[in-house]
Chains A and B, each alone.
Chain A
Amino acid sequence: MSEISKLLDEWVKDPQKRQQIQSIHTIEPREAKTVPFPSDLDPSLVSALKRKGIQELYTHQASAYDNARKGQSFTAITPTASGKSLCYHLPVLQSIIEDPKSRAIYLFPTKALAQDQKTDVNELIEATGKQINSFTYDGDTEPGIRRKVRTNGNIILTNPDMLHSGILPHHTKWVSMFENLKFIVIDEMHTYKGVFGSHVAHVIRRLKRICAFYGSHPVIICTSATIQNPKELADTLTHENHVVLTNNGAPSGTKYFLFYNPPIVHPTYNVRRSAILEVRDLAEELYKKRLQTIIFAKSRVRVEMLVTYLKALVSKKLNDRSIQGYRGGYLPSERRDIEKGLRNGDIRTVVSTNALELGVDIGQLQVCIMTGYPGNIASAWQQAGRAGRRQGESLVIYVAQSTALDQYVVDHPNYLLGQSPEEVRIFPENMLILMDHLKCAAFELPFDKQEDYAEYYVQSLLEHLKDENVLLETGDKWHWMAESFPASNISLRSASQDNVIIIDQSIPTQTRVIGEMDLFSAMTLLHEEAIYLHQGTQFQVELLDWDEKKAYVTEVDVDYFTDANIAVEMKVLSKDKQLTKKQVEMTFGDIIVLAHPTIFKKIKFDTHDNIGSGTIDLPPLELHTSATWITFDKPAHGAMHLFADAMVGAAYALHSFIPLFLDCDRKDVHVVPQMKSILDEQPTFFIYDSYPGGIGLSERMMDRFDELVEETHSQVTACPCLDGCPACIGAQEANVGLKEEVLLLLNHLVREADVL
């Protein structure tokens, strides 16, 4: 019996734990499906593979090779640890062996991944004994070797940001690369979603435009985790016709999925014990049993809280580093250290945000704990893939939080385990994003009067840029004629571009930068008096210099954390589509959202009691975005007593279930109720995209609103709580009957008009 089976056996016999274990599912191991090496594969590659212990190719690797050789762009769907990198290494290396002038660009979503893959490809190259140069090219590349990389690199490993601001605007320095570019490889394609993905879609279009200028037409190879719409995403991302390869031939070991629901501590309110505390206890047990474990938590704050809790286990040992946090905002060197510690086993427990979902090589871990539902199925599988990457038994523990979606998933394991991962959407048509990249494209190469930009007919937009004195119109072209360097004003990662720098001033003579954070997060996490956690150390924000975008923090030791509230205000800019249905009128259009942080609460560790509060004094942030809003008649007087509260409860419930329908992260959209909208004094629900210019999410709600309301209604009805709880309409006071009112209101939204 393996360690994992033993542990599960123990747990189901444990009278306390067995009550919390909702279900256990076994995913059977799978045999490898292989085929012989392709006949035209260079002998040096064959012997290199054999030296690595590879005697045959997995079926998907062979199909990948065939498609690439035919010049067909493709997308390989590969779970973690299925040898996906050979899907592109083999055709790329073969093409370079046949023609040493050949070039390829590998794009990775992060610098870290590029570094990791460089080691991988170099090992393979070394084994072939051929002279093939592969280099990373990113912000860390020494200026001294950049020229060498540009002129000699057969394979350039980089990221979209570098391509956007470091390569494309200087393409004349890369002539030999662009002339001979045979392949563009886009690894981890599923990570290119939302705003970031929409930006990257344009970077790829610009890249292809430059390739065409130099006369090359590279094949595009994407790899992706399992998602519902790989072809649609690949086609939209690259503006190319993709073949999707799903014939994964890699083997996998037995995997147990355990759905764990924390005990109810307050039956009336259906309040469950905090998932964080529950995860802490489970992780402690696993640590003591010496099972190497990765814990995923959804926010930076939670990662830091868990690290703080768990480090108490080893507080007696000096310099113990067997428990570590890992998230964005740590310095690269810190992260490299942690990755290495995981591989060599020095680190036994790591707590991570989704930063580690990606293919950073950390070796095999035995157990993965998800603190709550990560927001979408693809992410959940990526996280689960961290346990038992290659073979042997592994365990994935899903610990539900009290939120609606989490409870839905713990009750419906098939939502996660069934084969219906979500769609990944990008929206390159976002006008702000498109205009940004149109400027970059015009900077890189003048537009012809007859030219289209990928699938877009942009002549009138170019005319607009002329009016802004950015372009100059001549007989047959639009020329860039401005002093600015457009790429430097455009960040691919975040729609709001500034970051707040976090400066530790605990020792006045040794102030140092310990991290950075985007503006929207900073509003709630770095306001003055906030407790900011970094690697488990608590810092209090002493001063937030909003103009200079700097937060000064000092190390403290307190037993609470802070939680901030934001108030929002709405203005309608334009109405683009309208739809009248049953009782409601739906409108889609552009709005302005004013977000204004209001107060924060101090919440005690362990008990999570509210022990104080304060105001946040920051200017509001403005967001221009697209929204669908739903206006309806107020139910007849007397039918509902608590209409205002019911609106809030319904908005809470609707928002919770939107990710099920729109296949996005909960934070990508917002639902805001207004009792009397500024438009026509009618009650209104606003559903808006969280990003400037919108990313096409709220628009799709136009078609699926009825379904959303119905699903929400049945979930609220089925919720075992009495008066409303975080799993349905949000926590409520007892005995006021708000849950009934919310159900009435939801009914009101979808009933037939004539039934009244």
Chain B
Amino acid sequence: MAMKGLLKKQPEQIKEAQAVDQKKLLPNQWESSGYERVETPEGLYFKVTTHYPLDFEHGLVKFSELDKLLLQAKEKFPGHPLVPHDDKRVLFYDTETTGLKGVGVHIFLNGIIQRFPTHFQLDQYLLASPEFEVPFLKALPFQLADTIVTYNGKSFDIPQLEVRWTMNRKELPPFPTLFQVDLFHGSKRLWKGLQERYKLQDMEREQLAFVREEDMPGHLAPIIYMDALRSNTTENLDRVLEHNKWDLLSLVALYIRSLQHLLDQSEQSNSAIEINLAKWLKDIKLLPHSKELYEKVTERYERQDIPHAYYYLSLLKKREKEYEESFELMKIASDELQGIERLDALLYCAKILEHQLKDFNLATNYVLQAKAQLLTLTAVLTREKLADYLLDLKKRDARISRKIISRESADFDK
């Protein structure tokens, strides 16, 4: 209500030509911070550049591995979501923003790591003021078809960048089409069942053995930036830059680690990761690779530890019409699996015996085993599920019996 006097509906008599003291509004105080001040005809932004040697190590990971891994991955797994399309550049990208959603949210920090011939380079671009968003965005080195590696960038960083781009679209070239590698999705597939949470800091702690010291919590970043704009202090802003730096270093390291797993070159590997990966390869239709990996898994580990590998390998073999082999694999899986998974494996055996291998007597045997297994699951399954399974088994049983009889009578006729 106190604002009531401020509302004017009639034209103001004189609209003062706003003789604004430009200097007063510029965040020139930041210069003392050691950020590089970059002036362009359209305004200024600040930049902080850090170099890392080619053999830099972050946690357990050596950055020098990256080149070799990329080459091999491109050759062996073209089309995999972790692998760049072509020989364009690979950039690691992470933003800090003033909020979470909507067009009023600003990106105030663009952090990028690139591989240069002699070193890795971290470039951090700081928005000097929202009025200078155009030079800030133009400074981004993205080019058509670049590969951009992010953590959750498909849902957050890139859409946010597109929002800012659209807001300034009159002064910017069209937004370049980028190839995105999102390690958040990759991590959820690769380490499925092995992590409680999949935030970048969980990943770096668990998978890279890297622990940050005195890291600024990410959710404070917006407040710190807005405070730095309004006051004169950059002290806390340095900590945001540091937070962003760690995010990016971990991003590079996590990418290297992910490619190592993909290329089967990781010392940290285990059967669970390998099965996750084989399943992923199958889902994206890289079937020969998937099969190859499952086969490796069955060779490397004890069968009681990897029933799932047998299960999925069996499905792949069936697709290739290798029915005998498929059955043998599923038989092993059914021996080792438990619960509903075992039930499904037994049913699968019954099906393949009935339809492909035509061994009706053995099929009946598997139907019986499945029934026995189902009875152990009455407490686990919902009533509907239970009824479905029962009905299915009953029908299958009856059908197989009919087939046995008709075959016997056919034999008899001979």
How far does the Cβ of B39 sit from chain A's closest Cβ, in whole Å?
15
Q: Is B4 an interface residue (CB 8 A)?
A: yes
Q: Is B106 an interface residue (CB 8 A)?
A: yes
Contact (Cβ within 8 A) B1 A573? yes
Chain A residue with the shortest CB-CB distance to B8: A457
User: Which of A224-232, A467-475, A659-667 is found at the contact surface with chain B?
Assistant: A467-475
Contact (Cβ within 8 A) B102 A460? no
Contact (Cβ within 8 A) B103 A444? yes
Partner of B131, one of A173, A455, A456, A477: A477
Q: Is B9 an interface residue (CB 8 A)?
A: yes
Contact (Cβ within 8 A) B130 A461? no
Contact (Cβ within 8 A) A443 B130? no
Q: Is A450 an interface residue (CB 8 A)?
A: yes
A590 to B5 Cα, complex, angstroms: 13
Partner of A429, one of B7, B11, B163, B222: B7
Contact (Cβ within 8 A) A480 B1? no
- When distances are taken between beta carbons in the complex, the residues of chain A under 8 Å from B103 are 169-172, 443-445
- When distances are taken between beta carbons in the complex, the residues of chain B under 8 Å from A474 are 25, 129-131
How far does the Cβ of A373 sit from chain B's closest Cβ, in whole Å?
34
Contact (Cβ within 8 A) A475 B25? yes
Chain B residue with the shortest CB-CB distance to A429: B7
How far does the Cβ of A165 sit from chain B's closest Cβ, in whole Å?
9
A450 to B6 Cα, complex, angstroms: 16
A173 to B229 Cα, complex, angstroms: 28
Q: Is A263 an interface residue (CB 8 A)?
A: no
Question: In residues 104-123 of chain B, which contact A (Cβ within 8 Å)?
Answer: 104, 106
| 0 or 1 for each of B216-232: is its CB under 8 Å from A? (1 = yes) | 00000011001001100
Chain A residue with the shortest CB-CB distance to B221: A483
Contact (Cβ within 8 A) B104 A476? no
Contact (Cβ within 8 A) B102 A169? yes
Chain A residue with the shortest CB-CB distance to B133: A479
Contact (Cβ within 8 A) A485 B166? no
Question: In residues 599-648 of chain A, which contact B (Cβ within 8 Å)?
Answer: 624
Q: Is B171 an interface residue (CB 8 A)?
A: no
Contact (Cβ within 8 A) A476 B18? yes
Question: In residues 415-471 of chain A, which contact B (Cβ within 8 Å)?
Answer: 429, 431, 434-435, 442-446, 449-450, 455-458, 460-461, 464, 469
Contact (Cβ within 8 A) A483 B222? yes
A472 to B163 Cα, complex, angstroms: 19
Contact (Cβ within 8 A) B102 A479? no
Partner of B102, one of A170, A464, A624: A170
User: Which of B56-64, B93-101, B194-202, B355-363 is found at the contact surface with chain A?
Assistant: B93-101
A303 to B25 Cα, complex, angstroms: 61
Q: Is B12 an interface residue (CB 8 A)?
A: yes
A573 to B8 Cα, complex, angstroms: 21
Question: In residues 1-55 of chain B, which contact A (Cβ within 8 Å)?
Answer: 1, 3-4, 6-12, 15, 18, 20, 22, 25
| 0 or 1 for each of B149-172: is its CB under 8 Å from A? (1 = yes) | 000000000000011001101000
Chain B residue with the shortest CB-CB distance to A175: B166
Contact (Cβ within 8 A) B229 A485? no
How far does the Cβ of A59 sit from chain B's closest Cβ, in whole Å?
38
A477 to B12 Cα, complex, angstroms: 19
How far does the Cβ of A88 sit from chain B's closest Cβ, in whole Å?
29
Contact (Cβ within 8 A) B131 A475? yes
| 0 or 1 for each of B167-197: is its CB under 8 Å from A? (1 = yes) | 1010000000000000000000000000000
A175 to B174 Cα, complex, angstroms: 13
Contact (Cβ within 8 A) A479 B7? no
Among A429, A464, A475, max chain B CB count under 10 A is at A475
How far does the Cβ of B11 sit from chain A's closest Cβ, in whole Å?
7
A483-B223 CB under 8 A given contacts A172-B162, A172-B167, A469-B230: yes
Q: Is A481 an interface residue (CB 8 A)?
A: yes
Among A443, A455, A481, max chain B CB count under 10 A is at A481
Partner of B104, one of A455, A475, A480: A480
Chain B residue with the shortest CB-CB distance to A443: B104
A481-B7 CB under 8 A given contacts A431-B1, A474-B130: no
A64 to B229 Cα, complex, angstroms: 52
How far does the Cβ of B25 sit from chain A's closest Cβ, in whole Å?
6
Contact (Cβ within 8 A) A481 B226? yes
Chain B residue with the shortest CB-CB distance to A213: B167
- When distances are taken between beta carbons in the complex, the residues of chain B under 8 Å from A482 are 98-99, 104, 226
Partner of A464, one of B6, B25, B163: B6
Q: Is A5 an interface residue (CB 8 A)?
A: no
Q: Is A23 an interface residue (CB 8 A)?
A: no
Contact (Cβ within 8 A) A473 B222? no
Contact (Cβ within 8 A) B102 A443? yes
A173 to B167 Cα, complex, angstroms: 11
| 0 or 1 for each of A565-578: is its CB under 8 Å from B? (1 = yes) | 00000000110000
Contact (Cβ within 8 A) A464 B3? yes
A476 to B18 Cα, complex, angstroms: 8
Contact (Cβ within 8 A) B1 A624? yes
How far does the Cβ of A389 sit from chain B's closest Cβ, in whole Å?
42
Partner of B20, one of A456, A472, A475, A573: A475
How far does the Cβ of B159 sit from chain A's closest Cβ, in whole Å?
9
How far does the Cβ of A217 sit from chain B's closest Cβ, in whole Å?
17
A450 to B167 Cα, complex, angstroms: 19
A431 to B4 Cα, complex, angstroms: 6
A77 to B102 Cα, complex, angstroms: 37
- When distances are taken between beta carbons in the complex, the residues of chain B under 8 Å from A455 are 9
A479 to B229 Cα, complex, angstroms: 12
Chain A residue with the shortest CB-CB distance to B99: A483
Contact (Cβ within 8 A) B1 A476? no
Contact (Cβ within 8 A) A472 B130? yes
Partner of B7, one of A172, A434, A449: A434
A481 to B129 Cα, complex, angstroms: 10
Partner of A472, one of B4, B223, B229: B229
Partner of B9, one of A429, A444, A464, A574: A429
- When distances are taken between beta carbons in the complex, the residues of chain A under 8 Å from B9 are 429, 455-457
A95 to B130 Cα, complex, angstroms: 39
Q: Is A484 an interface residue (CB 8 A)?
A: yes
Chain B residue with the shortest CB-CB distance to A626: B1
- When distances are taken between beta carbons in the complex, the residues of chain A under 8 Å from B3 are 431, 435, 461, 464
- When distances are taken between beta carbons in the complex, the residues of chain B under 8 Å from A486 are 104
Question: In residues 81-98 of chain B, which contact A (Cβ within 8 Å)?
Answer: 98
Chain B residue with the shortest CB-CB distance to A693: B1
Contact (Cβ within 8 A) B7 A456? yes
How far does the Cβ of B227 sit from chain A's closest Cβ, in whole Å?
9
- When distances are taken between beta carbons in the complex, the residues of chain B under 8 Å from A434 are 7
Contact (Cβ within 8 A) B98 A483? yes
Contact (Cβ within 8 A) B99 A456? no
A609 to B131 Cα, complex, angstroms: 70
Contact (Cβ within 8 A) B131 A450? no
Question: In residues 305-363 of chain B, which contact A (Cβ within 8 Å)?
Answer: none
A480 to B98 Cα, complex, angstroms: 10
A573 to B2 Cα, complex, angstroms: 10
Contact (Cβ within 8 A) B163 A460? no
How far does the Cβ of B203 sit from chain A's closest Cβ, in whole Å?
26
How far does the Cβ of A164 sit from chain B's closest Cβ, in whole Å?
12
Contact (Cβ within 8 A) B166 A172? yes
A457 to B4 Cα, complex, angstroms: 13
A positions within 8 Å CB-CB of B: 169-173, 175, 429, 431, 434-435, 442-446, 449-450, 455-458, 460-461, 464, 469, 472-477, 479-487, 573-574, 590, 624, 693
Known: A169-B102, A477-B131, A485-B99. 18 other contacts (CB 8 A): A172-B166, A172-B167, A175-B169, A431-B1, A444-B104, A456-B7, A456-B8, A457-B8, A457-B10, A457-B12, A461-B7, A472-B229, A475-B131, A476-B20, A482-B99, A483-B99, A483-B222, A574-B1
Interface CB pairs A-B, < 8 A, 10: A172-B163, A457-B12, A458-B7, A475-B25, A481-B98, A481-B106, A482-B104, A483-B99, A483-B222, A484-B99
Question: What 5 A-B pairs come out closest when comparing CB atoms?
Answer: A443-B104, A172-B166, A474-B131, A479-B130, A480-B104
